[in-house]
Amino acid sequence: WLGQVMTDVVLSLRLGELCLAGGMAFVLDDPTEDTTGMTPVSLLNRRLIRISLALPVVVAAWILLGRVASGSPAATPVIPVWPFTLEMLAFTAVALAGAAIGYLGDRLGGSIGSGAALVVAATAAVLPGKLRLWDRMPGTPEYQATARWWWAIVCAGGVALVLNSRVGARSLADSLGAMRRKAAPKGP
């Protein structure tokens, strides 16, 4: 019985991290981007400012979730919060990258970003065998083997966010299209 309750506490903490990460995707939605786009401040800097303003609220909510989970009667051993924090960083990086890509294309950044975090979570939960990331109990050796994959997701999300927040380039797809046009042979 206690093992099932502990599993429920871990699942609840994971769902909480996914909700916080999905919420961060909406930070990049900026209805005034058409008017602020002409300012000398780059899109990346504007996005970093928006993220840094929302970050204290998310960190406070995460600390509260961690305290509630660790204070649960089912959490007889203390639940290690750092591995869950790494998962939340990965989901947040994916959500922000998806929001950056989606907002530049169709102005649906928050929806696309939070959906991207859900897709990554679902994928992490259904991968086969030892590749499955989301069912390992943090603090165990099996979980330690998956940490490098979480860090890879964090790095990939960060790179995608930066690439889709460059000055003068609306999106990665636009940049690739411009490269193709330059490489295309000129007609007669």
Q: What is the pLDDT of residues 54-113, one digit of tens each?
A: 999 999 999 888 888 777 665 556 677 788 888 899 999 999 998 888 766 556 778 888
Residues 147-180: pLDDT tens digits? 888 889 999 998 888 888 764 444 445 555 666 6
* CA neighbours closer than 13 Å in the CB half-sphere of residue 124: 24
Whole-Å CA distances, 57 to 5, 13, 51, 61: 28, 17, 11, 6
Confidence class for position 2, pLDDT limits 50, 70, 90: very low
Least confident piece of the model among 75-89, 109-123, 130-144: 130-144
Q: State the chain's mean pLDDT as an integer.
A: 77
Confidence class for position 186, pLDDT limits 50, 70, 90: low
Looking at 71-80, list the stretches that DSSP marks H as alpha helix, in order from N- to C-terminal side: none
> What's residue 169's pLDDT?
46
**Which residues, 6 or more positions from 150, have their beta carbon under 8 angstroms from its beta carbon?**
86, 87, 89, 90, 133
CA-based R_g, the chain, Å = 19
> What's residue 147's pLDDT?
81
CB 112 within 8 A of CB 99: yes
